[in-house]
Amino acid sequence: MGETRRWFNSPAAISRKFTPAQNHKQRCAVLSRMTALYRCHAIRRSVVSKGVVTLVASLLSMPVMAAGSVATHADVDHWAQTWNSHDINKVMAMFSPDVAIDQPENPKPLDYAGTRAFFGMIFRAYPNFHVDVKQAVVDGSTAVSIERVTGTWSGPFIDPSTGKVTPGNGRTFDHPGVMVIQYGPDHKITHVAIYWDQLTVDRQLGIAPKV
């Protein structure tokens, strides 16, 4: 059955098991929370509508898996702790060799080698990059992590679609993001779909196109 835990500002956490009907209601609650986060950050509907619709459809259509499925809240905790370590070798150890990551800035999904190159660069560009998990839902082999992501642009950023290098300018970003993470039987990650609003971040970093 689905297993759900919410993270609040206090250290206390709530963990319960749900029936299939309750599990569906919990997914709807996650979507409501995600919508509230996006509204708080003034994300433009025209920019994120396609991604949000895709995410809504994927969350509501996820099957209820049998007991003994592999994803756990410990996996989500490990996900955040590993990113916050800024150790690219530890990050790569989370992934299956055939991993694929869909990430807004990249023109095509990242494979294992591409993941190392891209996120190694991210750690250099944003040396205080930090992930704070606000809420998570675990269902079968899938985990959904709703996060607050922060950082300071201090180093060079390499645009993966053009190769253009842009030096850091000292500005900060603070935005919500949603990660849909698929795990294999060995708890290695096989696929990640990352959802966040690039326009909001570009505005915070002072590089959004002028209209």
Any domain includes 9: no
For residue 130, tell me if it sits in a domain.
yes
Is 47 inside any structural domain? yes
Question: CA 46 to CA 52: how far, in whole Å?
Answer: 10
User: Tell me, what CATH number does 42's domain have?
Assistant: 3.10.450.50
pLDDT at site 27: 52
Do residues 139 and 62 lie in contact, with contact meaning Cβ atoms separated by under 8 Å? yes
Structural domain contains residue 2? no
In a domain, 175, yes or no: yes
Residue 7 included in any domain: no
Domain encompassing residue 60: 18-205
Please check whether residue 129 lies inside any domain of the structure: yes
Per-residue pLDDT of the chain (211 residues; tens, 9 = 90+): 333 333 333 333 333 333 444 455 555 555 555 444 444 443 333 334 344 444 544 444 444 444 445 889 999 999 999 999 999 999 999 999 999 999 877 889 999 999 999 999 999 999 999 999 999 999 999 999 999 999 999 999 998 888 999 999 999 999 999 999 999 999 999 999 999 998 999 999 999 988 7
Domain count, the chain: 1
| Beta carbons of 85 and 130 less than 8 angstroms apart | no
Query: Number of C-alpha atoms within 13 angstroms, CB side, residue 103?
Result: 17
Q: Please report the pLDDT score of residue 70 as a whole number.
A: 80
Instruction: Provide the whole-model pTM.
Output: 0.69
According to the model, what pLDDT value does residue 26 have? 54
User: How crowded is the C-beta side of 38, counted as CA atoms within 13 Å?
Assistant: 23
User: Is position 137 within any domain?
Assistant: yes
Q: Which residues of 140-167 are buried (b: 16+ CB within 10 A; e: fewer)?
A: bbbbbbbbebebbbbeebeebeeeeeee
